[in-house]
């Protein structure tokens, strides 16, 4: 493989790996929110708000990875 | 068949500036949409609201409720900027789902203005200037005391927070909208007919969520800056 294809592969793997951690985190957070609502249905609105806030901070990690990829594209002129 | 290009814009030089014309034009369109919306829904206000007035009142009550929930009654003076941010980002995001692809530019193409990092960074900087200004207006120079709380050695982290807030705000909005457009573009390239439609509908939902997230985070930053010190 030449350098170009190694770099492309690295970028694809990078986004995939970056999505793993937040994916697991979002699963745990959503499960906790569902448990909370099942236990105490009247906190649904509050639980949804907290869930959205929590998920937003996890999601931004993947977005940093996407941004890093675009940055790499411009800086090193890849693909 | 479309070529997949990321972050290409229609660049014009105006004097010493490099201007992304497509972003500017679509941002103007979003502003015009907000102004027309604001103008239309405030005509013929009545005690018994018609459908349009009821709709706009629902939006305003939702936003004011969000501000009140964070800051209480006295925070309502910050409601106008939060509402403007929400409406502008909402219209800007929804605009991306108009059939822009029928019209071809030589360079780049029309899309949401929020798929340009310059727009989102501008909005995020407005928020960070506003919450520092609101904190100083509320507490005077005492606002800067919070940099040394809870301990003096937390100072570098508190300063760093002022920089990471606009960074994460802008990148979140930009990344979400750009990723959505990329996925639609890839689907169009693979299967041009019907396959991208569910994704486009999902993007309408994402437009609301992102506008809500941006304004909710702006509210909580302003609330943290204006809160009473302990």
Under a CB-based contact definition with an 8 Å cutoff, are residues B97 and B203 in contact? yes
Q: Count chain A–chain B contacts defined by CB atoms under 8 A.
A: 33
Domains of chain B by residue range: 11-226
Q: Name the more confident of B29 and B110.
A: B29
Q: Nearest Cβ partner of B171 from A64, A73, A74?
A: A64
Domains of chain A by residue range: 3-76
ipTM: 0.78
The 10s digit of each residue's pLDDT in B81-118 is 999 999 999 999 998 888 887 887 777 778 888 988 88
Q: In this structure, how many other beta carbons lie within 10 angstroms of the beta carbon of residue B180?
A: 23
Mean pLDDT of chain B: 87
Under a CB-based contact definition with an 8 Å cutoff, are residues B172 and A59 in contact? yes
Write down the residue that tokens 């991208």 correspond to. B196
Mutate to test the interface with A, among B176, B186, B218 (most CBs of A within 10 A): B176
Contact call for A53 and B216, based on CB within 8 A? yes
Bridge partners (DSSP) of residue B19 are B12
Question: Which CATH entry fits the domain spanning A3-76: 1.20.20.10, 3.90.660.10, 3.40.50.2300, 1.20.120.530?
Answer: 1.20.20.10
Is residue A70 within 8 angstroms of chain B, CB to CB?
A: yes
Q: Nearest Cβ partner of B172 from A52, A63, A73?
A: A63
Contact call for A60 and B178, based on CB within 8 A? no
């Amino acid at each position: 493989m030449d350098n170009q294809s190694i770099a492309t592969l690295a970028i694809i793997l990078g986004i995939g790996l970056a999505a793993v951690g937040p994916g697991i985190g979002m699963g745990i957070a959503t499960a906790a929110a569902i448990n909370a609502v099942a236990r105490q249905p009247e906190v649904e609105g509050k639980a949804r708000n907290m869930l959205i806030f929590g998920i937003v901070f996890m999601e931004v990690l993947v977005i940093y990875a996407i941004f890093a990829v675009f940055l790499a594209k411009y800086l090193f002129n890849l693909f | 068949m479309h070529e997949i290009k990321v972050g290409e814009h229609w660049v014009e030089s105006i004097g010493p500036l490099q201007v992304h014309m497509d972003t500017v034009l679509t941002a103007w369109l979003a502003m015009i949409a907000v102004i027309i919306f604001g103008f239309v829904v405030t005509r013929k206000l009545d005690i018994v609201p018609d459908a349009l007035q009821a709709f706009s009142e629902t939006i305003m009550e939702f936003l004011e409720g969000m501000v009140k929930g964070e800051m209480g009654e006295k925070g309502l003076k910050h409601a106008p900027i939060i509402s403007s941010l929400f409406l502008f980002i909402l219209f800007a995001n929804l605009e991306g789902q108009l059939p822009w692809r029928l019209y071809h530019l030589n360079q780049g193409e029309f899309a949401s203005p929020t798929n340009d990092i310059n727009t989102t960074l501008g909005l995020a900087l407005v928020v960070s200037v506003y919450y520092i200004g609101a904190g100083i207006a509320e507490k005077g120079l005492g606002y800067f005391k919070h940099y040394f709380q809870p301990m003096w050695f937390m100072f570098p982290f508190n300063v760093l927070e002022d920089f990471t807030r606009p960074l994460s705000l802008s990148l979140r909005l930009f990344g979400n909208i750009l990723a959505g457009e990329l996925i639609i573009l890839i689907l169009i390239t693979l299967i041009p007919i019907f396959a991208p439609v569910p994704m486009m509908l999902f993007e309408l939902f994402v437009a609301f969520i992102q506008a809500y997230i941006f304004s909710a985070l702006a509210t909580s930053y302003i609330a943290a800056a204006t809160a009473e010190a302990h």
